[in-house]
Amino acid sequence: MKTTKGDRNYRISEYNDIPEVRQTLNFPEEVYIVDSTIRSLQSGASGGHCTARDLVDIGIALDALGVRELIVNLTWKYGIEVCEGLAKANLRCKLVGVVPFYNPVWQKVIDQGAMAGVDEICVSSAANGEQIELAAELCHKNGKGISHEFAKLYSYPQVIDLCKKGIRCGYQSQSFHDSFSLFRFAITPEGIKYFISSLRRDIPGMPPIHVHFSNLFGHATMVAVAALAAGANAPDVSMNGIGHHSGHTPLEEVVAVLECLYGVNTGINLKCLRDVSRLVQERSGIPVPISKPITGDYAFLIDGHFRANEANLPEEQKYHALFPFLPAQVGSQERVIWSDKQILPQSIRWKLSSMELPFDDQHVDRILNRMGEILREKPLYPNWLTDAEFEEICREVVLDHSFSP
């Protein structure tokens, strides 16, 4: 089924919209994006090599992309310096500085973060209600907002008590990381739905709920979206999925799933996703896998064999040479490649015709042979030819030029 949302065309399954499916969804009226790319890059486990200036520039780009909050760890490298730089940039989003309660000088760090210009302090891993109350007093004294994240082991009754204490003290959100006892990095979509629904049921006046997941099973995106479908307000994400524990919830994947599959507006400028992804890659040195969903160079790959065989089919009959949405909608483009593993002579004939080159069956055979020779000589991944490389072979053969690759 094809649906249109603004200038975006999506091809989605009809099963997504049947009443029995839709009635299981409980998205809040507003879903927004909380971003931890900077925090993830501050971590040594990310393997990146960003300077403070790099992190500031990345934060500015993420703000322009449309994230609602930027998370910076105040106690990690460049924390205060980066907050100072971002505070001077007149961001549209909220700048949030994190400090864990287990840091022995957490009270001093709150004051430092306030002076650095953060909009809100997020205290992490409260041990008891007294800490919740004291942190709120310090933040209010500094004229700053206050929030909390659960990032250590808790029982459900402890979660309820601390959240209720937070409500009384004016906490603006509660964030749940998958490291605490109820999740242990391994919660299913069904499990997180139950948890979020339980919070909404058991805590009257619950503030916005944020969720932060590691990707140890490759499941962070689906669990984050399940949490939102149960009533959570924001995924805490990272561009390109950067982070420890196999990475964190990828910003680009969650946004595409929400916008395309569920029709949920995230406030993100989809067309700039790839540009920001490349900025993070360039500044951090952390490569984006070429087949990475949404932002990989070959995320929208089409085998030339399929493109050729389906070139003249109506759109509704194509199933290999199309995507659920146009690559340009997320700032990307389709990439055609050619391989000798499944190509047919008729595919080459179509390509030669599309290039308006004269040919006969002998040309087709020579192109097949030459393509195989070049691919056997390529020792590294990926073992394919780009469309431009394949076109060069076609020209050389048809025009009887040398066969140099």
DSSP code, position 117: T
- List phi, psi (to 5°) of 18: -70, 145
214 and 66 inside one domain: yes
Cβ-based burial of 297 (10 A; exposed 0-12, middle 13-18, buried ≥19): middle
- The three-point CA angle 197-203-206 to 5° equals 85
Strands (E), 30-78: 34-35, 69-73
Domain tally, the chain: 2
- Contact predicate 168/137, CB 8 Å: no
Tell me how crowded residue 61 is: count the other CB atoms within 10 A of its CB.
19
How confident is residue 181, by pLDDT bands cut at 50, 70 and 90? confident
304 pLDDT more than 70? yes
Q: End-to-end alpha-carbon separation of the chain, Å?
A: 43
252 pLDDT more than 60? yes
Q: Indicate whether 255 belongs to any domain.
A: yes
224 and 263 inside one domain: yes
- Contact predicate 211/232, CB 8 Å: yes
235 and 94 inside one domain: yes
Q: Indicate whether 403 belongs to any domain.
A: no
Give the C-alpha distances (Å, rounded to integers) separating 186 from 47, 55, 195: 24, 30, 13
The C-alpha atoms of residue 122 and residue 143 are separated, in whole angstroms, by 14
How confident is residue 201, by pLDDT bands cut at 50, 70 and 90? very high
Specify the pLDDT at position 314: 72
The C-alpha atoms of residue 78 and residue 44 are separated, in whole angstroms, by 12
CATH number at residue 35: 3.20.20.70
Q: Indicate whether 296 belongs to any domain.
A: no
Q: Indicate whether 289 belongs to any domain.
A: no
Q: Maximum Cα–Cα distance for the chain, whole Å? A: 83
- List phi, psi (to 5°) of 377: -85, -10
Q: Which two tokens stand for residue 100?
A: 């864990």
Specify the pLDDT at position 3: 61
Q: Tell me the per-residue pLDDT of 310-347, one tens digit each, with 9 for 90 and over.
A: 777 776 666 666 788 889 999 999 999 999 988 989 99
108 and 224 inside one domain: yes
Strands (E), 312-369: 335-338
pTM, 2 dp:
0.92
DSSP code, position 24: T
155 and 248 inside one domain: yes
Domain that holds residue 48: 13-284
161 and 270 inside one domain: yes
Among 249, 284, 319, residue at a domain's last position: 284
22 and 125 inside one domain: yes
111 and 215 inside one domain: yes
389 and 268 inside one domain: no
Dihedral angle sign, alpha carbons of residues 401, 402, 404, 405: positive
300 pLDDT more than 50? yes
CA atoms within 13 A on the CB side of 164: 10
Among 229, 253, 284, residue at a domain's last position: 284
Q: Tell me the per-residue pLDDT of 150-171, one tens digit each, with 9 for 90 and over.
A: 999 999 999 999 999 999 999 9
How confident is residue 365, by pLDDT bands cut at 50, 70 and 90? very high
